[in-house]
Amino acid sequence: MSDVFRNRALIGVLAVCSVIAFAAPLSGQEIRERTQAADPSTVSDKNLKAFANAYVEYHKIRQTYEARLGKVQDPKEREKIQREGDSKVKQALEQQKLTPETYNRLFTAVNGNEQLRREALKWIDEERNRL
The rounded mean pLDDT for the chain is 78
Give the per-residue pLDDT at 39: 62
* Rounded Cα distance, 108 and 36, in Å: 10
| pLDDT tens digits for range 19-68 | 333 333 444 555 455 544 456 667 899 999 999 999 999 999 999 999 99
d(C-alpha 126, C-alpha 131), whole Å: 9
3-state helix, strand, coil in the chain (%, to 5): 80, 0, 20
pLDDT at residue number 42:
79
Confidence of residue 13 (pLDDT cuts 50, 70, 90): very low
Q: Give pLDDT, residue 50.
A: 96
* 59-111: pLDDT as tens digits: 999 999 999 999 999 999 999 999 999 999 999 999 999 999 999 999 999 99
Q: Which residues of 1-131 form beta strands (DSSP E)?
A: none
Can you tell me the distance from the alpha carbon of 107 to that of 101, in angstroms, rounded to the nearest whole number?
10
